[in-house]
Amino acid sequence: MPPTEEHLVTPAPPRDDTRTLATVAHTAFFLLLGASMARFLLRHPGEPRTPWVVALGITLALLYVLGPALGAAPTRRRLLWLGLVVTTWVVLVVLAPSFAWCAVPLFFTALRTLPARAAVVLVALLTAFVVTAQLQLSSSFDPNLLLAPPAVAALATAVFVHMERQAQAQRALIDDLIRTRRELAATERREGTLAERQRLSMEIHDTLAQNLSSQQMLLQAADRTWDTDPATARAHVRTATGIAAHGLAEARRLVHDLAPSELADGAGLPGALRALDAGPDVEVRFHLEGTPSPLPDRVQSALLRIAQGALANVREHSGARTAALTLSFLGDQVVLDIADDGHGFTEPRTGAAATAGATAGTGAAGRGHGLPAMRARVRQLGGDLTIESTPGEGTVLSAAIPLEPAP
């Protein structure tokens, strides 16, 4: 069965270039903070403001360390943290203007945290404060001190805004591609289903329906002539019997055509199971135990479908690296075990809750059709489906189907 699509809104994972830029900004902040502290201590030893400057520098460093733990989303805690960092930096620059250049990494922090307009306003205020502090440190007027900080701030802001717009455009494009692929897959499945229904309706009309119609006509003719012409009536019955035999053969052919294509090449169930896979990230191993014996078509189809569904769950939900399929011929029954080394789940209680809980345990939020379908297949054949799982130790699914004794 194709997996059911989930429509969940999840936050986009951080891009590699954004993480790299954040790492560079954090490193630059601590380098500038350390250099500013060293410069102040070397040029102003023993001043009364020195303990305050050292304490504020340490406080600013500790506050900045807390930033990554709060995330980049503009939550209340994140906004409060940004306000404390900026306020501490402003007080520190008032006491020691040499700490003004620590504002450059703060530009990046403000742009990541605040909306675009609010971030630009804050960057402009920080830039004005940097210019004022640099002019205080200078013994004479220097045009570079008046123009360089705004130029640096404008360049940093433009680069960051451009990167954010590119990232948003890429995320929108990826979302469109994923949505288009899902719609295309759904359309193809729907068209395939309709085509298969049309094919089956034509097959049934041209074979079974025509045969049944012919049988009806012959039997009605036999009924009308049974008393007056018994020989002709028996001939009609014999002809109807032949048509029924032909219809039975056609019905078996249709059933055979509906069997899984993996079993159509004559390799049998072991060969079909050996050819299964669970994607490039999961290694699938197949083991055969006991002496293989011929299995009814419906048993082979059921076990193959169960294996395919179980491997789909392993691929999508378990996080496993390996999965093992074991087909055991035990004389009076055939057993298929599917074991994985994934994260497992907590086993629910028995009964209806077990089915629902097991399905939820495999991460089937919004899905939930795989395990009930497996149980239904096994139950129709008089067998049992058991699931054993422990968090962190993987899951084992076992389907046991009884076999009729050979004559």
Taking the C-alpha atoms of residue 130 and residue 136, their distance in angstroms, rounded to an integer, is 10
Label residue 63 by pLDDT band (50, 70, 90). confident
Nearest 5°: CA angle at 345, between 342 and 348?
150
Taking the C-alpha atoms of residue 217 and residue 224, their distance in angstroms, rounded to an integer, is 11
Q: Give the mean model confidence (pLDDT) for residues 363-382.
A: 70
Query: How do residues 175-224 score in pLDDT, each as one tens digit?
Result: 899 999 889 888 888 888 888 787 777 777 766 777 788 788 889 989 99
Taking the C-alpha atoms of residue 38 and residue 325, their distance in angstroms, rounded to an integer, is 65
H or E stretch covering 148: helix 143-204
pLDDT number for residue 385? 93
* Tokens, residue 273: 């199971």
> Is the per-residue pLDDT at 2 higher than 70?
no
Higher per-residue confidence, 59 vs 110: 59
CB 64 within 8 A of CB 70: no
Q: Where are the alpha helices (DSSP H) in 314-366?
A: 352-361
Neighbours of 388 (CB within 10 A): 13
> Is the per-residue pLDDT at 166 higher than 90?
no
pLDDT number for residue 18? 63
Q: Which residue has the tokens 């403000």?
A: 110
Taking the C-alpha atoms of residue 33 and residue 169, their distance in angstroms, rounded to an integer, is 35
> Is the per-residue pLDDT at 240 higher than 90?
no
pLDDT number for residue 325? 94
Q: Give the mean model confidence (pLDDT) for residues 329-335.
A: 90
Taking the C-alpha atoms of residue 396 and residue 120, their distance in angstroms, rounded to an integer, is 56
pLDDT number for residue 286? 92
Taking the C-alpha atoms of residue 105 and residue 156, their distance in angstroms, rounded to an integer, is 10
> Is the per-residue pLDDT at 262 higher than 70?
no
The one-character DSSP state at 281 is T
Taking the C-alpha atoms of residue 387 and residue 21, their distance in angstroms, rounded to an integer, is 47
Residue closest to 371 by CA, chosen among 383, 355, 391, 353: 355
Strand-pairing partners, residue 326, are 287, 337
> Is the per-residue pLDDT at 140 higher than 70?
no
pLDDT number for residue 9? 36
CB 239 within 8 A of CB 218: yes
Taking the C-alpha atoms of residue 406 and residue 331, their distance in angstroms, rounded to an integer, is 9
CB 296 within 8 A of CB 333: no
Query: How do residues 3-46 score in pLDDT, each as one tens digit?
Result: 444 333 334 444 555 677 677 777 888 888 888 888 888 887 77
pLDDT number for residue 160? 74
pLDDT number for residue 247? 80
* Tokens, residue 308: 């395919």
Residue closest to 262 by CA, chosen among 310, 300, 315, 316: 300
> Is the per-residue pLDDT at 117 higher than 70?
yes
Q: Give the mean model confidence (pLDDT) for residues 103-125.
A: 78
> Is the per-residue pLDDT at 313 higher than 70?
yes
Which value, to the nearest 10 degrees, does the dihedral of the CA atoms of residues 369, 370, 374, 379 take?
-20
Query: How do residues 67-92 score in pLDDT, each as one tens digit?
Result: 766 665 667 887 888 888 888 888 88
Neighbours of 302 (CB within 10 A): 23
Label residue 99 by pLDDT band (50, 70, 90). confident
pLDDT number for residue 13? 44
CB 327 within 8 A of CB 304: no
Calculate the CA 309 to chain-centre distance.
16
Predicted TM-score (pTM) of this structure: 0.40
pLDDT number for residue 145? 64
Label residue 265 by pLDDT band (50, 70, 90). low
> Is the per-residue pLDDT at 406 higher than 90?
no
Taking the C-alpha atoms of residue 375 and residue 384, their distance in angstroms, rounded to an integer, is 8
Q: Which residue has the tokens 């002019």?
A: 135
Query: How do residues 337-356 score in pLDDT, each as one tens digit?
Result: 999 998 887 755 443 333 33
